[in-house]
Amino acid sequence: MIPELGLFSLIIALGFSLAMSVILLSGAMAGNHFWISFSKNLALGLFGFLSISLIALMLSFVGDDFSVAYVANNSNSKLPMPLKVSATWAGHEGSLLLWVWILGGWICSVALFGAQLSEVFKARVLGILGMVATAFILFTVLTSNPFERLLVNIPLDGGDLNPLLQDVGLIFHPPLLYMGYVGFAVAYAFAIAALLSGDLQHNWTRWVRPWTNCAWAFLTLGIMLGSWWAYYELGWGGWWFWDPVENASFMPWLAGTALIHSLAVTEKREAFRSWTLLLAILTFSLSLLGTFLVRSGVLTSVHSFAADPERGLFILLILGLAIGGAFILFAFKAPASKKVTYELGSRESFLLFNNLVLMVILISVLMGTLYPLVIDALGLGKLSVGGPFFNSFFVPLTIVLTILVGLGQTTKWRKTNWRNLRTPLIVVFISCVVLSAAIIWLANLTFSIWAMLGIGVSLWVVGLSGYEFVTTKLKHASGWKALVSLKPSYIGMQLAHLGLVVGVIGVTMVSLNGLSVDKRMDVGETVSLGQLEFQFMSMDRVQGPNYISDQGTFRVTNESGKELHMLAEKRSYSVGGQVMTEAGIDASFTRDLFVALGEPLGDGAWAVRLQYKPFIRWIWGGGILMALGAVIAALDKRYRKSTTSQGIHA
Amino acid sequence: MSQLWIMLALLMGLAVVVVCWPIVGVYFKRPANMPRVRDYWLMSATLMVFIFVSFGLYAQLGESEALARKQQTDQMPQVESLILQLQQQVKKDPDDSQALFFLAKSYMAVEKYGLAASAFDQASVIVGPNAELLALQAQAMFYAQGLKPSAQVDALLAKSIAMQPEQATALSMLGFMAFHSGDYSEAIIQWQRLVDTHSSESKNDTAAINLDLVKQAIQDAQQRLTKSLNQSLVVDEQSKAQTEQAERRQVNLLVTIDEGLRALVSDTDTIFIYAQALTGPKMPLAAIKISAKELPVALALDDSNSMLVSNKLSNHSNVQVWASVNFSDVPGLQSGDLYGHIGSVNTDEKGTISLIISEIKP
């Protein structure tokens, strides 16, 4: 009965979302406050019934209800309980339910916490979000019903969850990613609502900034978690593969990053109005494109799209309506550019350059991701665009971007006094060159121009941030007082930029100074990696809850003679028979040691991959700092000031 | 199943309450700009559409009916548990003939025919002689014996038919047993009787018998009967032709004696002329006894001179022939006896073969 209640709740939620889009949009258009007064209840109802639906699906997993086809395909009675819960979103149907549930959550938050918005404007935003929700719930109900039953030949046991996904990373990775994707729907809805109302003179951007920051923070965390999960679960120690699925999430992130900065300019200086609107639409469009690419099956193969054309076409239709409709609206109602003056050396200019660089990266990633799909779809053969292509533009452009970050936060709005800035810039520049050379020499790193650049630009941002803090914040107050008086938006910005620096250092170090060796190892054999010695101690067979594992024990001796033990596993899952590599990882602040078992080579010997990964944790640490910065910035009181008195009216 | 619909209705009720809450607020607060009556009408209409569309969509996508059917079959007691219940009932009340009857039927359903037969037997002891019970018992026994007829089964069926000549199970069984033993005509007779007596009126005991199936069985039996009749006709004609041909078989001989040996034989000496199989027993297939004075003689060996009913000359296409002068009057050649022999003669050839007595048994 539970799955039936889940389905019915989903249908009721569809009714709520439909009612939201019709009642609230028409109410806003007609200025009917009676209709608008339903907004909070409709949003609550939508989220409430989506929650009932999601809980029903979870209960079906927990209760091993294999009469539900989706449960039968993605779970097994032997699966540990936390994984049963996370299996709820392991497949297509459940993922979509989670997607719409999170959208419901965002809608509910806008309805409850958007008190500073005028009623009419809020109704419009909610109405547009209701339309997005209607499209996706309809898609779920009609083409991807997670409650579909197998009432004949109900399997006694399920087909099991893909072992790759039997991991804590999976429990959090999709929800975080979707929180990001879907969160950008709020910025999109704000932009469309502003375009619909036609009144773009007022600063709608201020209200949308915290929502965008939060969405971006979630997306950042989701991407970082995905990268971390790939690092330890896929088994070979890579942390970014330029895989189309990764790119699908990276593109909205790039657009979102541009949007955050563009929003700042529009809010503070009322410049870039149209550009910001366009970015808001673009960011959500890319989120939809990401969902389409991953969910339609296009990425695995262009042919799998044809295998289930109903789903693909439906998402394509949603994409067409959401993006096409938005751009048409933009074309007709985009505000005429208001004359806002700023000089070439101003902060506005640097933020514009920042946006430009981000757009160049975005377009290149988009091309690299879609080009193979287009070639495949046209029947011109299969090709894959790999790391070298992406790195060839991404690495230099990231360095340019980081240099711009330093300059952007040091310069002033409208006009920068370069005469005052010249000396500090030269000092910081020379310090960066000297310090990075010194670091490379002292830390015994391999010297290269990329190492110099990576470390140099990081120091550049830190140095200029420090200079800016000292000259502006410490000017009026000293010491703790200055620190306490810092606004959350400022702290957030600095933290996020620091996160970028930390990430750049991590990437530089691990890419240029990491060590890796693939060896055939017999039990008892010792292999050297740099100053480390790895000894293959033993091989044991271990029984897990739903797998049998070959567990190799390695003793690692570091340069100072200190010993540690690491376990690397090769697991064979009993239900599906899949074999999984569980790498042994010894993590620390400055380096990871990584041991992965390959294939058994006979006579007790194994193919083994040994890796030394300096500063790899800094990559994810940088991501966490960025996300934290975005959230702290969103907490700024400025965004919660009521503007109803001067708010947008129909 | 109604439980599910109650839950669905409750969910819908909750949804309606959530939607309508602002109206309640408006009613109690009575704000300055009260909604117009038209707004209420629109609201009610929207709500109606909301409810109907939700239930309609669920009716399309939900599995409530299939689920109800499944729950029904899930709830139906399994035959095993039914047997257990009936066994307990019989244990509690051994005179409960109905429980015994259903227990026996349940045993039949799970192919425990021996137990079924004894349960039917017990039931008929309680109820007294009953044509249907007797027939069912016979049926259970027949199955329990591995589809082999027995005097007991025959007796039970005879008793049943004697009590009620048109007893459906008994007629069905008689037909089936006949069919099983290859007696198709008898099977057709019994089944036809069953169809004739039961097609016009509905009788209780025919409920378990599907007359259409019986009619199909009759057709099947008829087909088999026709086939076997055709086969036996062919066999008859073949054997008749063979017999005729065999009956025409004979060996025409002209028996003479070598002039050199003629002096050794007196006119009264007995001469045996006989045919022997090429292999097998030495007993002559056909034999003629003459006296020496009759020589030379033309004669024919055929079935009329046969000595055995079971092994005639006509059974053999080739034979060996002998003519012997037995001085001792004892069957079989003795030393000093005279004889003539041909190793192989085709019995189908009509020509006369010369057989000369020219040898002396050493």
pLDDT of A535: 92
The length of chain B in residues reads: 362
The answer to whether A37 contacts B22, with C-beta atoms less than 8 Å apart, is yes
Choose among B3, B8, B18: nearest Cβ to A45.
B18
Cβ neighbors of B298 (< 8 A, separation 6 or more) are B252, B253, B254, B255, B352
Residues of chain B with C-beta less than 8 angstroms from the C-beta of A49? 11, 15
pLDDT value at B34 more than 70: no
Which of A2, A4, A52, A134 is the best mutation test for B, with the most CBs of B within 10 A? A4
Chosen domain end from A469, A486, A503: A486
Domain residue limits at A145: 1-166
pLDDT of A648: 39
B:43-82 residues touching chain A, CB 8 A cutoff:
46, 50, 53-54, 57-58, 61-64, 66-67, 69-70
Inside any domain, residue A306: no
What integer is the mean pLDDT of B42-62?
A: 86
Inside any domain, residue A11: yes
Type of residue found at B65: E
Type of residue found at A268: K
Residue A482 sits in the same domain as residue A520: no
Pick from A5, A137, A164, A148: which is nearest to A70 by CA? A148
Residue A613 sits in the same domain as residue A558: yes
Residue A530 sits in the same domain as residue A461: no
Choose among A34, A49, A145: nearest Cβ to B35.
A34
Chosen domain end from A151, A166, A181: A166
Tell me how many domains chain A contains.
3
Residue B39, chain A, CB below 8 Å: the answer is: yes
**Of residues A22 and B204, more confidently modeled:** A22
Q: Lowest-pLDDT range, A134-143, A525-534, B143-152, B308-317?
A: B308-317
Inside any domain, residue A602: yes
Residues of chain A with C-beta less than 8 angstroms from the C-beta of B46? 19, 22-23
pLDDT value at B203 more than 60: no
Largest distance between two CA atoms of chain B: 165
Choose among A4, A38, A52: nearest Cβ to B62.
A4
Question: Exposure pattern of B217-236 as b/e (b: 16+ CB <10 Å)?
Answer: bbeebeeebeeeeeeeeeee
The answer to whether B4 contacts A11, with C-beta atoms less than 8 Å apart, is no
Q: At what angle do helices A204-233 and A616-634 cross, to 10 degrees?
A: 160
pLDDT tens string B215-224: 888 888 888 8
pLDDT value at B76 more than 70: no
A581 forms bridges with which residues in the sheet?
A570
Inside any domain, residue A467: yes
Residue A542 sits in the same domain as residue A422: no
Inside any domain, residue A645: no
The question of ipTM being above 0.85 is answered as no
Residue A72 sits in the same domain as residue A133: yes
Q: Residue ranges of chain A with pLDDT lower than 70?
A: 151-154, 156, 160, 164, 199-203, 235, 296-309, 335-339, 575-576, 641-650
Residue A453 sits in the same domain as residue A592: no
The answer to whether A11 contacts B61, with C-beta atoms less than 8 Å apart, is yes
Task: Identify the burial level of A270 via C-beta atoms within 10 angstroms of its C-beta, where 0-12 means exposed, 13-18 middle and 19 or more buried.
Answer: middle
Calpha distance A566→A556 (Å, rounded): 7
Calpha distance A638→A157 (Å, rounded): 55
**Of residues B125 and A161, more confidently modeled:** B125
The answer to whether B26 contacts A41, with C-beta atoms less than 8 Å apart, is no
Residue A432 sits in the same domain as residue A537: no
* Residue A123 Cα distances to A180, A211, A650, B223, angstroms: 23, 17, 10, 82
pLDDT value at B113 more than 90: no
pLDDT of B71: 64
Inside any domain, residue A214: no
pLDDT of A576: 66
Residue A454 sits in the same domain as residue A526: no
Residue A544 sits in the same domain as residue A464: no
Task: Identify the burial level of B360 via C-beta atoms within 10 angstroms of its C-beta, where 0-12 means exposed, 13-18 middle and 19 or more buried.
Answer: middle
The answer to whether A37 contacts B25, with C-beta atoms less than 8 Å apart, is yes
pLDDT tens string A135-171: 999 999 988 899 988 766 667 677 767 776 777 777 7
pLDDT of A649: 39
Residue A152 sits in the same domain as residue A36: yes
Distance from CA of A283 to the nearest CA of B (A): 32
Which of B61, B65, B70, B72 is the best mutation test for A, with the most CBs of A within 10 A? B61
The answer to whether A11 contacts B25, with C-beta atoms less than 8 Å apart, is no
Residue A478 sits in the same domain as residue A613: no
Residue A478 sits in the same domain as residue A520: no
Inside any domain, residue A377: no
What DSSP string describes A611-639? EEEETHHHHHHHHHHHHHHHHHHHT-GGG
Position B309 confidence tier, pLDDT thresholds 50, 70, 90: low
Inside any domain, residue A353: no
pLDDT of A72: 87
